[in-house]
């Protein structure tokens, strides 16, 4: 069984900045002319290969469920399992991933892999297919410049271990060990070992519950014994949709690739 987890629980603060309360929206549901021109619709299309798609929501959760029921095809709806994160406003992104993994591991016993992607991303189809087709665990990177105030840094140290750096306050970053390679994370991952993933997930709940999703991800990849079990895949087109201007850039890209 192949599972995709998509997390969309956040309050979309930057996306809804200076927008009247009644007009605020969950950003993965935002569209201007066509209700299929949403981040979640496009990501669900890419994820349709999976046997199950676990969507973790929180902010405006009822709107998310209504959108799925009214705009997603019935043959795809039956694959979707929605999960409510009741701590979307007081815990970080890690809790959404924790819930998605827990829901998957608790409900299904024959899981071959879990692909996790953050729900505010737009990724080109060909790059996404490379992640899907990989038979290994996957780390991804994008080709944007690395700025400490917005990038999640992925680097490989001299021992061939992979580590992340991120400043939640959007300040400077400091790398305190030698490294072989450094990347701008593509915020998309694949996990192949469900036993190790459960260990990482349980460790998060017990020790790191206030952390971002990197708390689970870093622990999982630390538990892998061999770097040869990991594929590093570049995402050619990658946009993290934080603002409505970002959405316009994404929409223009969709027009070009039709």
What is d(CA 237, CA 41) in angstroms, rounded to the nearest whole number?
A: 17
What is d(CA 134, CA 232) in angstroms, rounded to the nearest whole number?
A: 10
pLDDT score of 122: 98
pLDDT score of 157: 94
What is d(CA 64, CA 6) in angstroms, rounded to the nearest whole number?
A: 12
Token pair 């998060």 in the structure block, residue: 204
For the chain, give the mean pLDDT: 95
Q: Where do the domains of the chain lie?
A: 2-257
- Provide, rounded to the nearest whole percent, the portion of the chain with pLDDT above 70: 100
CATH of 2-257, one of 1.10.8.10, 3.10.20.30, 3.40.50.11540, 3.90.550.10: 3.90.550.10
- Provide, rounded to the nearest whole percent, the portion of the chain with pLDDT above 90: 90
What is d(CA 201, CA 217) in angstroms, rounded to the nearest whole number?
A: 9
Q: Are the CB atoms for 94 and 214 separated by under 8 Å?
A: yes
- pLDDT level of residue 257 (50, 70, 90 thresholds): confident
pLDDT score of 242: 92
Angle of helix 244-257 relative to helix 39-46, nearest 10 degrees, comes to 50
Is residue 43 scored above 90 in pLDDT? Answer: yes
DSSP state of 151: P
Q: Are the CB atoms for 98 and 88 separated by under 8 Å?
A: no
pLDDT score of 79: 98
Cβ within 8 Å of residue 182, ≥6 positions away: 146, 153, 154, 155, 156, 175
pLDDT tens digit string along 123-177?
999 999 999 999 999 999 999 999 988 899 999 999 999 999 988 777 899 998 9
pLDDT score of 82: 98
Paired sense of beta strands 80-84 and 52-57, if any: parallel
pLDDT tens digit string along 88-118?
999 999 999 999 999 999 999 899 999 999 9
pLDDT score of 168: 74
Closest CA to 118 of 144, 106, 100: 100
The whole-number average pLDDT for the span 200-209 is 98
């Amino acid at each position: 069984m192949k599972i995709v987890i998509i997390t969309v629980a956040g309050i979309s603060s930057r996306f809804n900045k200076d927008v009247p309360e009644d007009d605020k929206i969950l950003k993965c549901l935002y569209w201007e002319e066509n209700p299929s021109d949403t981040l979640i619709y496009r990501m669900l299309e890419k994820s349709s290969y999976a046997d199950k798609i676990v969507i973790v929501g929180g902010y405006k959760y009822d709107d998310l469920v209504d959108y799925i029921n009214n705009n997603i095809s019935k043959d795809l709806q039956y694959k979707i399992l929605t999960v409510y994160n009741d701590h979307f406003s007081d815990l970080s992104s890690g809790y959404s991933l924790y819930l998605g993994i827990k829901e998957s591991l608790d409900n299904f016993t024959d899981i071959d892999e879990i692909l996790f992607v953050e729900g505010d991303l737009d990724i080109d189809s060909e790059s996404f297919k490379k992640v899907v087709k990989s038979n290994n665990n996957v780390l991804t990177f994008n080709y944007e410049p690395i700025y400490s105030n917005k990038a999640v840094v992925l680097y490989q140290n001299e021992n061939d271990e992979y580590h992340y750096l991120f400043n939640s306050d959007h300040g400077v970053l400091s790398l305190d060990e030698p490294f072989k390679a450094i990347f701008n994370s593509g915020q998309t991952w694949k996990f192949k070992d469900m036993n190790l993933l459960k260990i990482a997930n349980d460790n998060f709940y017990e020790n790191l519950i206030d952390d971002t999703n990197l708390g689970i991800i870093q622990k999982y990849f630390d538990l892998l014994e061999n770097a040869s079990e990991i594929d590093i895949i570049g995402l050619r087109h990658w946009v993290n949709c934080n603002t409505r201007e970002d959405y316009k850039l994404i929409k223009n890209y969709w027009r070009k690739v039709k």
